[in-house]
Amino acid sequence: MLKRYFPLDFWLMNEFRPDKLLKWCVLLSFLVFMLPAGAQDSQSSDPPVETDSLTVEEADQNTEESDQRLSGESDTVRFLSLQECIFLALQNNLDIQIERINPQIAMLDLQGSYSYYDPNLSLSQFSGESLSPTYFDPEGRLILGRSQDFSALSSGLAGRLITGLRYNVDTSMNFRRVNDFNTPADYSASAGFSLTQPLLRNFWIDPGRLQIKLSKENLKMTKQALRLQLINIITSVETAYYDLIFAIENVQVQEKALQLAKRLVEENRTRVKVGVMAPLDETQAESQAAGSEADLFSTQRLAIFQENALKNLITDDFESWQKIKIVTSDPLVAIEENLDLQASWSAGLVMRPDLAQLRIDLERRDIDLVFRKNQLLPSLDLGGSFRYNGVGSTETESYDNLRNGDRWTISTVLSFPLGNRAARNNLRSTRLAKKQAILVLKRAEQNVLVQIDNDIKLVQTNLKRVSATKRAKEFSEEALDAEEKKLENGKSTSFEVLRLQRDLTSAASGYIRALADYNISVTRLYQSEGSTLEKRNVELIERAKRTLMPELEALDHRSDERDSE
């Protein structure tokens, strides 16, 4: 056709002739003037019908305007993958930031509990004066009153060792002077130490060592609580991410439903005009179009709410994200999981942080039980002391005479309260508390097994739902296409087409919901197993350690070194 009106030799200018050029210019001018006229005639032959309904293009424009009204003007569109959302949550989530402080507090408490072994240095000084009055004795003699000055300076160092041994090292200097002309000043100095070693009660454990052991267990507890919070937040991020994908794609489904409804309105209006359809069919189509538009607004609103839910999880400054529109970059697909009930049970019993916390609590009960048993024993303390004493008329002389007088003692002290009811009742209470903790752990383990079993069955069911809803969507598309063709041929009714449009919208939405639910159920299964961090990747775990618990690793190393000493 192109060669017929525009020969190739014209374009190549092989046989250029002015008369041919003039002929082609006239032909082109004729076509230019004729085409718009034909278009105008075609438009004027079918005058538009006055109506309040919108065309498909107008509906699309209206949809975009409604998006802007609902979501506001977005300054930035940010594409985020699921992995990026998880990283942002690890860095910025407020719940994680709150929980990560607890291990640091527990670490400081543990360091503070070692102050039980810190020595205590004491210094004391006092001085004074005493005055005796003048009086007559029974024989009538006059006894003159006199005054004396005195002062004392002492120092001491006391503390405990890890065996429970108590030590005390002290020195003192005392001065006394009578204010008359016949009595010289009196100086006395002393230095010595004393040791007391418990042999029964408080020998291998005492209140101080009990607190240290409990503080270590509390540190383990807070670490597991932080791990539990990480798993819960990551699970919430994944759930919100999949829900956001569903919400975004569901908006697209509703937009397509609105376009189909608007197109049917226009087609029915044309059929009513030519007299092949009753006006009631046009009214039904307009009603469904209005309902589809309302459904679109609802899905857009839900998409905004879901986007805000995800933002709340991945940032600690929502105001800076308010103008950012999140677009999910990961596709919504169903990847079949290799499910093994026994393996999932084993993982759940070993890796669940809440079960680990209950086991740590059981260890705390055991430590407390050891202490309560020890407190039933009588107190048997072996003590010893050694002291130098020196006296002189001057301070220097008293120090020089220290070695001239010494004293040592060895003592054994046995004591026990009669009945010892407090210790016995504390022991009984601790045993009952341990029994209760064992039952609580057993109940939690059983609940974990039931939860994992339910989650595996839910994953299997949701995978079947994905397959079923996909077929339902395909069948609905085929049914709607066939019914529309029948309507064009006058063999169907607008009511049937409207019903099939509704069925297609429902099937498409159900398919997307099934995909999201399947992925969410897999995420919940990982949460039930306690394997969420491990299922992500090694980089995520290492990043969490570097970001959240660097001080705790150093503390563990220092604690191990102190225990070995």
DSSP structure string for 37-87: HHHHHHHHHSPPPP-S---HHHHHHHHHHHHHHHH---SEEEEE-HHHHHH
Q: How far apart are CA 545 and CA 356, in angstroms?
A: 18
As a whole number of angstroms, the distance between CA 457 and CA 302 comes to 29
Per-residue pLDDT band at 563 (split at 50, 70, 90)? low
pLDDT at 462: 94
> Within the chain, how many helices (H) and strands (E) appear?
18, 10
pLDDT of residue 126: 83
Share above pLDDT 90 across residues of the chain, in percent, rounded to a whole number: 47
Q: In sequence order, which residues have a C-beta less than 8 Å from that of residue 238 and are 6 or more positions away?
A: 82, 86, 519, 520, 523
Mean pLDDT of 278-286: 76
pLDDT of residue 66: 45
Enumerate long-range contacts of 13-16, CB under 8 Å, 24 or more apart: none
pLDDT at site 62: 46
What is the per-residue pLDDT for 135?
66
**Average pLDDT, integer, range 218-245:** 94
Confidence of residue 160 (pLDDT cuts 50, 70, 90): very high
Query: Of the ranges 14-28, 159-173, 227-241, 333-347, which one carries the lowest mean pLDDT score?
Result: 14-28
Residue 197 scores a pLDDT above 60 = yes
Average pLDDT over every residue of 375-393: 88
228, 532 Cβ separation under 8 angstroms: no
The span from the CA of 525 to the CA of 537, in Å, is 17
Q: Is the pLDDT of residue 38 over 60?
A: no
Task: Determine which of 113-127, 399-413, 468-482 has the lowest per-residue pLDDT on average.
Answer: 399-413
CA–CA dist 243, 249 (Å, integer): 10
pLDDT surpassing 50 at residue 55: no
Dihedral over alpha carbons 38, 39, 40, 42 (to 10 degrees): 90
Residue type, 328: T
Assign 554 a pLDDT band (cuts: 50, 70, 90). low
The least confident of 66-70, 221-225, 392-396, 526-530 is 66-70
Instruction: Tell me the mean pLDDT in the region 443-455.
Output: 96
Of the chain, the percentage scoring pLDDT greater than 70 comes to 78
Of the two residues 363 and 173, the one the predictor is more confident about is: 363
Q: Average pLDDT, stretch 214-233?
A: 93
- 294-306 pLDDT tens trace: 888 988 999 999 9
Is the pLDDT at 280 greater than 90, yes or no? no
pLDDT confidence band for 538 (50 / 70 / 90): very low
Does residue 461 register a pLDDT over 60? yes
The confidence score (pLDDT) of residue 11 equals 34
- How confident is the model at residue 312, as a pLDDT? 94
Could you tell me which of 54, 37, 53 has the C-alpha nearest to residue 45? 37
Mean pLDDT, the chain, as a whole number?
80
Mean pLDDT (whole number) for 473-500:
82
DSSP string, 258-289: HHHHHHHHHHHHHHHHHTSS-HHHHHHHHHHH
Q: Does 561 score more than 70 pLDDT?
A: no
Nearest to 527 by CA among 357, 352, 358, 360: 352
Q: Can you give the pLDDT at residue 10?
A: 35
Per-residue confidence band for 541, with pLDDT thresholds at 50, 70 and 90: low
Q: Using the predicted structure, report yes or no on whether residue 446 has a pLDDT greater than 50.
A: yes
CA–CA separation, 407 and 385 (whole Å)? 8
Is the pLDDT at 471 greater than 90, yes or no?
yes
Spatial CB neighbours of 497, under 8 Å, sequence gap ≥ 6: 264, 480, 483, 484, 487
- Tens digit of pLDDT for each residue in 388-437? 888 777 777 777 777 777 788 999 999 988 888 999 999 999 999 999 99
Which has the minimum average pLDDT: 47-61, 288-302, 375-389, 465-479? 47-61
Question: Average pLDDT, stretch 499-523?
Answer: 91
Between 59 and 190, name the one with better pLDDT.
190
Backbone angles phi, psi at 27, to 5 degrees: -65, -45
Provide the pLDDT for residue 111.
Answer: 92
Confidence of residue 481 (pLDDT cuts 50, 70, 90): confident
